[in-house]
């Protein structure tokens, strides 16, 4: 059975950091001491970010398609090169969706879809200028906003 990237959610970041190919990738760690401590691991050359809780358990995984490089896309629920139609074909009907929006300060945002899974939610943001994935976010069910 192929281990998908979603299998890392809820587990210790150390488990993912010692698995291939992540163990070979440069990573930057930072800690935000807020009401709840947040630990970030950013793989700057690969478009991957982990957000962890104070116990260093992975709460969210962010994959940016434009920077993403370096491992078998079978680890993902949908290939990052997919368009919206292909994503829905692969994942089924979304539980929530939103259209393209434009913010005067932040600029244009593409449409998005959210897919509920047993232990996590998968959020797919599409590019504003072309029908293609911009970012995939996987979030543990117990921390989904």
**What per-residue confidence (pLDDT) applies to 64?**
87
- Spatial contact of 95 and 114, defined as CB atoms under 8 Å apart: yes
3-state helix, strand, coil in the chain (%, to 5): 20, 35, 45
The whole-model pTM stands at 0.90
- Nearest CA to 126 out of 105, 143, 108 is that of 108
Regarding the domain delimited by 5-96+116-143, which CATH topology (the fold level of the hierarchy) does it fall under? Pathogenesis-related Protein p14a (3.40.33)
In the DSSP assignment, the letter for residue 3 is P
Distance CA 136, CA 48 (A): 10
Is the pLDDT higher at 140 or at 81? 140
Distance CA 47, CA 64 (A): 5
- Any idea which of 46-55, 73-82, 97-106, 133-142 has the lowest mean pLDDT? 73-82
Is the pLDDT higher at 65 or at 37? 37
| Dihedral pair phi/psi, residue 98, rounded to 5° | -145, 155
Confidence class of residue 121 from pLDDT cuts 50, 70 and 90?
very high
**What per-residue confidence (pLDDT) applies to 1?**
32
**What per-residue confidence (pLDDT) applies to 27?**
96
**What per-residue confidence (pLDDT) applies to 2?**
44
Query: Is pLDDT of 69 > 80?
Result: no
């Amino acid at each position: 059975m192929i281990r998908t990237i979603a299998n890392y959610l809820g587990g210790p970041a150390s488990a993912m950091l010692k698995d291939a190919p992540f163990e070979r990738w440069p990573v930057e760690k930072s800690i935000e001491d807020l009401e709840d401590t947040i630990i970030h691991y950013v793989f700057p050359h690969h478009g991957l970010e982990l957000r962890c809780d104070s116990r260093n358990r992975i709460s969210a995984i962010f994959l940016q398609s434009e920077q993403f490089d370096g491992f078998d896309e079978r680890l993902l629920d949908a290939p990052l090169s997919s368009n919206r139609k292909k994503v829905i074909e692969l994942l089924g009907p979304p539980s929530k969706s939103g259209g393209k929006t434009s913010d005067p300060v932040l600029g244009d945002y593409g449409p998005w879809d959210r897919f509920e899974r047993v232990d996590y939610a998968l959020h797919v943001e599409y590019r504003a200028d072309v029908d293609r994935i911009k970012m995939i976010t996987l979030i543990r069910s117990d921390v989904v906003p």
